[in-house]
Amino acid sequence: MEFIKDLDARGLNCPLPILKTKKALAEMLTGQVLRVQATDPGSVRDFQAFAKQTGNQLLEQSEENEIFTFFMRRK
């Protein structure tokens, strides 16, 4: 998937991946896509809730080698 900005939140625990994602999305334009990589297992639920609460779209999420990857589209 194509993305405009990449955020490395690996090694960070809740709530830092979400806080950094919120800041990164605020710097982007509507419709642009952000890729976030995180290692906190709780981030899966956090990103789903974040998308629901903010209206930003969680396009895709995956996990490989204990690294969770999320693609978020800015509302």
**Residue from 3, 10, 12, 14 carrying the catalytic annotation:** 14
Active-site residue, 14 included: yes
Whole-angstrom distance, CA of residue 62 vs CA of residue 28? 23
DSSP secondary structure, 20-60, as one string? HHHHHHHTS-TT-EEEEEE--TTHHHHHHHHHHHH--EEEE
List active site positions.
14
